[in-house]
Amino acid sequence: MHTQPLKIGVVIGSVRAGRFADTVAGWFLSEARQREDMEIHVIDLAEPALAAELGRALGFDGSVDRSGDRSGDAPRLAQRIGEVDAFVVVTPEYNHGYPASLKVALDHVHREWQAKPVGFVSYGGMAGGHRAVEQLRQVFAELHAVTVRDTVSFHNAWEQFDERGRPRDPEGVGKAATVLLDQLAWWGVTLREGRTVRAYAG
C-alpha cells in the first residue's frame, strides 16, 4: 500500500556556541535525506526564533539575544512539533545528562509529542551519549511518545569525524543510521495510521 512520506523532525538539542552538533547532525541529515519514504524537517533549538521562545518560557526575556529574532517568520515550536510524524533527537551528553535546552523544549510542548516515535543520535566522550539517551527515554515515556530501540552513537565524537565533517567509519555508522531509520519508519507509519483511525487517549 502506498503511503505519503513520513515527516521526520530532526531535533538538534544543543545550543552552545561552537557546538559539535552541527557536524553530527549534518552527517545524519545527509543520510536521512536519501530516504524516499521520508520528508526531513530540521528543528534546531538554536534558531533565533526558537531560542527566544524557549527563553521566554523560562522567564529569561532579558537573557536571550534577539538581534536575529524574527519570530513572526517561523512557526512556534509546538506547531513545528505537531506538523511531523516522528522525530530523531540529536543530543550530546553533558555531565552524564542531556542539554538544558532540550529539557525546556520537551516541557514546553505537550500533546504534540504524543503517540509519535522518537529515535536518537547521540555523541559525547567514552559513553557516546548513551546516558543522555537513557534519561530521554524516561522523559519521552512520560510524554506518551514511543522511543525506538536502536540508536546511533559517537564515542569520543571529535575523533570520529575527519576535518571535512565526514565519519571515519562511514560504513559502520551508515548501517546504524539505516537500522534506526527503518525502525522509525515502521513505528511512524503504524502510529500515524493509528492516530488517523482514532484520537490518542493521552
Q: What is the CATH number of the domain that holds 60?
A: 3.40.50.360
Question: Could you list the pLDDT tens digit for every one of the 202 residues in the chain?
Answer: 457 999 999 999 999 999 999 999 999 999 999 999 999 999 999 999 999 999 888 877 544 444 444 444 457 999 999 999 999 999 999 999 999 999 999 999 999 999 999 999 999 999 999 999 999 999 999 999 999 999 999 999 999 999 999 999 999 999 999 999 999 999 999 999 999 999 998 7
Closest CA to 169 of 182, 157, 179: 157
**Does 104 map to a domain?**
yes
**Does 173 map to a domain?**
yes
**Does 113 map to a domain?**
yes
User: Percentages helix, strand, coil for the chain, rounded to the nearest 5?
Assistant: 45, 20, 35
Q: Are 83 and 41 in contact (CB under 8 A)?
A: yes
Domain that holds residue 15: 6-197
**Does 64 map to a domain?**
yes
**Does 202 map to a domain?**
no
Q: Are 153 and 130 in contact (CB under 8 A)?
A: yes
**Does 94 map to a domain?**
yes
Number of domains in the chain: 1
Write down the pTM of the prediction.
0.91
**Does 184 map to a domain?**
yes
Residue with cell string 500500500 = 1
CA distance 91 to 132: 8
**Does 1 map to a domain?**
no
